[in-house]
Each structure stands twice: as structure tokens, then as C-alpha cells.
Amino acid sequence: MTARRSPALSGRVRAPGDKSMSHRSLILGAMATGETRIEGLLEGDDILATARAVEAFGAVVERTGDGVWRVKGRGELRTPSGVIDCGNAGTGVRLLMGAAAGYPLTATFDGDGSLRKRPMKRVTGPLAQMGAGFGWLADEDRLPVEITGGALRAIDYEQTVASAQVKSAILLAGLNAGGVTAVTEREKSRDHTERMLRAFGAEVGVEDVGEGWRVMVKGGQPLTGTFVAVPGDPSSAAFPLAAGLIVPGSEVTVEGVMLNPLRTGLFETWLEMGADLTITNRRQSGGEEVGDVTARHSTLIGIVVPEARAASMIDEYPILAATAAFASGETVMRGVGEMRVKESDRIALMVAGLRACGVAVEEEPEGFIVSGGPVAGGATVHTAHDHRIAMSHLVLGLAADQPVRVDEPGMIATSFPGFVEMMRGLGAEIA
């Protein structure tokens, strides 16, 4: 798939449903008793894998319309008959392992080639401390793994990596553990699990600890099915907005974008870089603030991105790097070693992709520095099955001198199924 220099982009679009909240709505719906109705569910491949998984664990899952789903939970997960294939989804597998750990069941989790390379001990370690059993079927720390759940004990866990997936897995297990399970984070990570647990009727305690917090859940609390309205995903909205910022003459609005402050680090960063980015129509939806975000073509200036912001934009560094290629001066992104264990080694792939397109980039063990200037393009970029690497380079190509080709556009459907059509609708030349 190839993106080429495009005329001014314009239009209003809706962001697809938030991926984090979509996974959680299905998983909590399956753990709960009664019916959960979900609107705005992201129908990307990652989420469809989670829907199949919760069905295998005994929930009844039904799609009743565009993004409208119904989950009938049994108040527990049961031993599935086959392997739980989570596809490409790290969030899916890690949260499901946490959810499954508290029930008397056995299940084998697996995923695609990319997911099989990602570390799992960050989640299975604390779950094992709580009493769950794990049998590694290939390599230690990597899928496939067999989990044996059952009676768990609460733990008081201090996180070493800022990860909402780890925190969420422990909290979901904690719901079925004896005592109060606590997770302390030095830096706050996204809190969708905490918010959604409350919507399903559970109490979740929070205490501030320095810049971070301690999140607590008491075991034995039942969940009751509820209504979940999933707002637009800021991580997906980032792509059309980035295109609006870098293609001369553009004005692009994405409606209904979730503005949870633990997710909006990219917007703050772009504003500091001088972006003409405005938010209108702020409102509440599904327990989250949402708004319509407009990006107009901007003269961007490189900045040093504060390291403390990393958790609130960890998935957005690839598209930030693509926009930084058009900024004047250096954009310094440090403290983002976690990027190396996402769907791909995102530092290595962005460095390689941007360099192939003629952008000067310096690579560090836990970060990278992009020097902006004219972007030559004219390259084929290797994406290693990573949806965000593919979308970031296609957006880059819309303002580069020569076309940019990505080798594997199919993976975009994991998080943003209508991406290409949406971008074309705005006037982007992607073929």
C-alpha cells in the first residue's frame, strides 16, 4: 500500500471505538452476572479475538448492530474447550489471563507470531504470587502458556513497569482473591479498568502516592451486567489528526474522541510543538470526557517530550515521530523503552522507517531523537506486522516528497479497520 503527497485534507470523521475500553467491556461483561449492552465497540481484529475468547469461557456474545454487542455473563469464566487464540492483542491476552486466574479452570493462551514474542511474565509473575499456576509450552515468558486458576490470595504489588495491562490483570484477579489486592504505580497508567469496574458495581479504592497511586480492590465483589458506551479512541484519532497537521492547507476534525487525561499526552505534546489543535463540544459519554478535535496544518517545532508523559501516550510515539519529521529542530523522545516490547520493537522500526524516508534519527536504548526537515520519502517501509508502524508511515507519505510504501497494510485492521477509507474520504492519496 502506498501513500503519496496529497492536496489539502478536509472533513469531519468519527474515531473508531477505543480499543482499551472495548477489550474491557467484553471481559467484564463475561465475568458479570446478567446482560451487558455495548455501543461503539471497536470491531477490529484484536477485539474480535477477545469476543471469541469470552465466548469460549462461557459467555453468550451477540452482535446486534454496527458496534452494538450484547454479552450475557455467567458471573464466572469456565474451562474452554480449545486454545484461546488472542491473535495480535497484548491487552486481550494479559487481561484475560488476569480474569481467568480467579476461577477454577484450565486454559491455554496463544497468539500470532508477534504476540508470541512479547513478554508475559510481567503478568504471570504477580498472578503466580496470588496462587495461579502457569505451564510454559514453548519458552519461559512467552506464549503459548497454560494457566490453572482457582482460589487466589490478595497481593500488595509494586509495579516496576508503568503498565495498565499488568495493573488490570492483577485487579481482575483480585476480584476473586481473598483479601484486598493492591497495585502501586509510580506513574499513573490508564484507568479504564478501575472506572469500568465501578460501572459494573464493584468498589475500587485509590490513594495518591507521589506522582503515582495505589489502586485497591477487595475480593468477593460480584459484578453486574451494565450498559457501556465506548467513546472514540484517541490513539486512532491521532492518525487523521497528524495528517491534518502535516499536509499543507488541511483542516481535519475527529468527533467523539475520548479525552481521559491519562490518554491525551500526544495532544499536549503537539500543542507544545505549536500545533493548531482545538477541542470543542466537550461532553461526558460512557463515564469519560469526550470532545471533537480539530487539527489544522501547522508549523511545528521540535521539543523534548517530558519522560513522565510516556505512559499517557505510549502507543502514540510512532505517529508523533512521523509528525516530528516535519518539525523544525529536534524532537527528543526518551524514557520509552516499553516501545520495544509492543506489537514490534517500535523504536527500531520507526528509526529504520524514517531513515529510509530520508529523515535523520538517532537511536538510543530507551528512546530516539528525530531531526525535522524535508522528508524525501521514496521508500518501502518494513512494518513487522505492526498496525501503528504501518499507519504512521502512510501518514508520513501524505506530506513526503516521494511516495511511501508499507509492506503489510493488512494488520491495520487490528485497531482501525476503516483507516484507509476514512483517510481517502478526507482526500488522502493512498492506493
Using the rule CB under 6 A, which residue among 50, 163, 298, 331 binds ligand S3P? 163
Q: Which is nearer to ligand S3P, 194 or 292 (CB)?
A: 194
Q: Report the candidate in 246, 292, 250 with the shortest Cα–Cα distance to residue 270.
A: 246
Q: Which is nearer to ligand S3P, 112 or 292 (CB)?
A: 112
Q: Which is nearer to ligand S3P, 3 or 97 (CB)?
A: 97
Is there a cis peptide before residue 403, judged by omega within 30 degrees of 0?
no
Q: Which of residues 6-65 bind ligand S3P (CB under 6 A)?
A: 20
- Residue least distant from ligand S3P (Cβ): 20
- Among 157-165, 242-250, 295-303, 374-382, the segment contacting ligand S3P (CB under 6 A): 157-165
Nearest approach, Cβ of 30 to ligand S3P (angstroms)? 17
Kindly give, in sequence order, each residue whose CB lies less than 8 Å from that of residue 306, ignoring residues fewer than 6 positions away.
none
Using the rule CB under 6 A, which residue among 88, 91, 124, 383 binds ligand S3P? 91
Using the rule CB under 6 A, which residue among 43, 110, 292, 338 binds ligand S3P? 338
Instruction: Tell me the C-alpha distance between 38 and 227, whole Å.
Output: 6
Q: Which is nearer to ligand S3P, 168 or 264 (CB)?
A: 168
Pairing of strands 106-110, 84-85: parallel
Q: Which is nearer to ligand S3P, 85 or 233 (CB)?
A: 233
For residue 170 the three cell numbers come to 492483577
Instruction: Tell me the C-alpha distance between 293 and 257, whole Å.
Output: 7
Q: Report the candidate in 57, 104, 107 with the shortest Cα–Cα distance to residue 77.
A: 57
Catalytic residue chosen out of the listed positions 315, 386, 401, 407: 315
- Dihedral sign for Cα atoms in the order 125, 129, 130, 132: positive
Nearest approach, Cβ of 59 to ligand S3P (angstroms)? 20
Confirm or reject binding of residue 382 to ligand S3P (CB under 6 A): no
Site string for ligand S3P, 315-334 (x = CB under 6 A): x-------------------
Instruction: Tell me the C-alpha distance between 215 and 184, whole Å.
Output: 6
Task: Clarify whether 315 is annotated catalytic.
Answer: yes
- Among 159-167, 269-277, 354-362, 368-376, the segment contacting ligand S3P (CB under 6 A): 159-167
Nearest approach, Cβ of 336 to ligand S3P (angstroms)? 10
φ/ψ of 21, rounded to 5, equals -70, -30
Instruction: Tell me the C-alpha distance between 310 and 78, whole Å.
Output: 37
Confirm or reject binding of residue 414 to ligand S3P (CB under 6 A): no
Instruction: Tell me the C-alpha distance between 31 and 72, whole Å.
Output: 9
Q: Using alpha carbons only, what angle is made at residue 356 by residues 353 and 361, rounded to the nearest 5 degrees? A: 70
Confirm or reject binding of residue 194 to ligand S3P (CB under 6 A): no
Q: Reduce the DSSP state of residue 104 to 3 states and report it.
A: coil
Largest Cα span, the chain: 61
Q: Which is nearer to ligand S3P, 24 or 405 (CB)?
A: 24
Q: Reduce the DSSP state of residue 295 to 3 states and report it.
A: strand
Question: Looking at the annotation, which residues are catalytic?
Answer: 315
Applying CB under 6 A, the residues found at the interface with ligand S3P are: 20, 91, 163-165, 168, 189-190, 314-315, 338, 342
